[in-house]
Amino acid sequence: MITATLNVFVKVVNENFTSEMAIPSSPAFHSFVARFEQQMSIFYANISGYQKVIVISLSKGSINVDHQVVLQVPFSKYQASYKAAVDEIQAKLHSKEQLCTSESKEKLCFNASDSRVMQVPLSPEDLSNICRNNSVVQQELQPFYLARNISNQLQCVSNCSFFHPDPFRCDQGNCYIQANGPNC
């Protein structure tokens, strides 16, 4: 599994912003963030791979909330799983003009027209970390593997693969990976 994020902006319209909410160390900020995270966990509960919400910032305009949605998606099916989650969130946020997180008195409501979903590509470091997992590649062989997108699937490839950016070439025999690197 790989951790992926996407950035989402919503405008909460059933609450009023106070200047104290802009200060991340303030009680007002912490109180609203705790409620937002709890309510959005209800709202996002059926999104494939949903893990949690991280609030990035609060600002004026009712209450503008920039936040990240954290997902766990299968490594080999990253592209399709991530796209499906993005599509699910966009569909949910735009399902009606005004929607609420729940029916409880703690609910938060926002307008679909003000909501935005932005994809966050995996960094090369994120990709490299996938192949540094003992359940994917044996620990002593990990330095010789990189993650690559092959036919819309993420795969760990070694220097023995022609998908590797610096493949090891064997004039005779087959390439194989040992603890000291690629060999023929």
Among the candidates 119, 140, 158, a domain finishes at 119
Instruction: Report the alpha-carbon angle 78-83-145, nearest 5.
Output: 20
Do 106 and 29 belong together in one domain?
yes
The predicted structure's pLDDT at residue 74 = 82
Among the candidates 102, 119, 136, a domain finishes at 119
Average pLDDT over residues 84-111: 88
Structure tokens at 10: 């919503």
| Parent domain of 43 | 2-119
Classify strands 116-119 and 2-12 as parallel, antiparallel or unpaired.
antiparallel
Do 139 and 110 belong together in one domain?
no
Of the candidates 47, 49, 46, 65, the one whose C-alpha atom is nearest the C-alpha of residue 109 is 65
pTM of the model: 0.74
Do 78 and 137 belong together in one domain?
no
Among the candidates 82, 104, 119, a domain finishes at 119
Instruction: Report the alpha-carbon angle 46-52-58, nearest 5.
Output: 115
The predicted structure's pLDDT at residue 154 = 77
User: Does residue 64 contact residue 58 with C-beta atoms inside 8 Å?
Assistant: yes
Do 22 and 93 belong together in one domain?
yes
